Amino acid sequence: MSSVRVRAAGAVLWRTGPGGIEVAVAHRPRYDDWSLPKGKLDSGETLPAAAVREIAEETGFRAHLGRHLRTVRYSVAAGPKSVDYYSAAAVSGAFEPNEEVDELRWLAPAEAAGLLSYDSDRSVLEDFGALPASLTTLLLVRHAKAGKRDEWRGDDDLRPLSPSGIRQAAALRALLPLFGPDRVVAAPRLRCEQTVRGVADDLGVPVEHEDLMAEEHYWDDRDAGLARLLALVSVGGTPVVCSQGGVIPDLVTRLATRDGVRLPVDEGEKVPSKKGSVWVLSFRAAPGNGGPQLVAADYLPTALPTPATSQV
């Protein structure tokens, strides 16, 4: 007999207060406990979308996601359950008591750890505190599906998205804003521009072309390509960069090797870069004039919804 795995998402919601970083701890009257904001996925919802929605419903705050912190697993009546936690910066809003949460406290991380009811939440908070709260995020996107190259008779630069690629681009248009992007850059390929054009339109910004994110230009000078990506990070904000499968694995590998970051792939496996996927790359300023330093790398293999329950 199969069991049901319940999917849920949550976050360490943080802000900068008068005394430094504060995190939100919620009291749930139903359980009489203190916990981090979290909840089950709705049908047709991604994990990041569920995390942002649950933050809004439980705390009243709009948030932008950062790095993935950890996945917590435990059993409930319906079967095994997993909760994916993210770092999330509070952007705006105010708390009002509601059916799920009747009290919200903003506390220094050490105070929050003492109030939380569960060891698993304290472990998530410990992961949050292992790096600075304020990091720069770059969203490195592989263009969506565009059919087979050998079946396209025109200029390959003008090969458009396929119907399935258009669906992937629509999913990215919903997913990427959860991380608070403010700039959109793409390799000068129609399929790359089409993949992120919806995000740019919603932000009211242009899609900037970057030759060094195209395969042939990147491999002509890999160091220049890496330097260009780091220059985009140095500007600040949260850039979206859409590139190709011949660029992304090498870029991510070189960054991780340079800065000693362990990637979420098995040893010996190639760094993945599926069409329509996203690498969420988190950077901090290096001491001195060393430029941005990669400190975390999370891979989202698809922007399409995650099943709220799955048979295992």
Contact 165, 275 (CB under 8 A): yes
Q: What angle do CA 217, 222, 228 make, to 5 degrees?
A: 80
> To which residue do tokens 């499968």 refer?
245
Q: What is the pLDDT of residues 133-153, one digit of tens each?
A: 999 999 999 999 998 877 777
Handedness of CA 211, 301, 89, 260 (dihedral sign): negative
Q: What is the 3-state secondary structure (H, E, C) of 64-92?
A: EEEEEEEEEEEEECCEEEEEEEEEEEEEE
pLDDT (tens digit per residue) in 62-114:
999 999 999 999 998 888 999 999 999 999 999 999 999 999 999 999 999 99
Q: Please say whether the beta carbons of 209 and 108 come within 8 A.
A: no
Token reading at 228: 């260009």
**Total-model pTM:** 0.95
Does the pLDDT of residue 259 top 70, yes or no?
yes
Show the domains of the chain with their CATH numbers: 4-129 (3.90.79.10), 136-300 (3.40.50.1240)
pLDDT at 240 over 60: yes
Mean pLDDT score across all residues of the chain: 94
Answer yes or no: are the C-beta atoms of 163 and 292 closer than 8 Å. Answer: no
Question: pLDDT tens, 184-201?
Answer: 999 999 999 999 999 999
pLDDT-above-90 percentage for the chain: 87
In this prediction, residue 311 carries a pLDDT of 43
The secondary structure of residue 161, as a DSSP letter, is: P
Helix (H, G, I), strand (E, B) or coil at 290: coil
Locate 197 and state its tokens: 């054009």
